[in-house]
Structure 1
Amino acid sequence: MDRFILLMLAGILAGFALLKVPLAGTFLKSLEPITTVIGLLAIVLFSVVLIFNGVMALLGK
């Protein structure tokens, strides 16, 4: 179970990394809105999974 939690935390960190990646001045500048959306979705999705697993653990299921 610990590996699963660490994997979810790594997904959240990857989402933050996508938000902070500097694309200005490169040919990838046009992809910046896409990386922002993917980063936000990763953060929200992995956070919801962690919260759900925490609630389920508290309830004993």
Structure 2
Amino acid sequence: PVEGTPGLDGLGVIRQGFVELSNVELVVELTDLITGQRAYDSNSKVITTSDEMLQTTNNLKR
């Protein structure tokens, strides 16, 4: 933590009766979450398909 006097040296100011706002853009975060989830799903399908191909190859060898 950075200690100091509020309002000096670039530190924030404390104001009574105000609500702190979030620094998160909800739409951007949800879009990133969906993108990450789809990437995970597609990578999972690639691994599953690769595993099935290797199993088929092993079965042909026998």
TM (norm. structure 1) is: 0.50
TM (norm. structure 2) is: 0.49
Relative contact order (C-alpha < 8 Å, sep 6+): which is higher?
Answer: 1
Structure showing greater radius of gyration is 2
Choose between structure 1 and 2: higher helix proportion.
Answer: 1
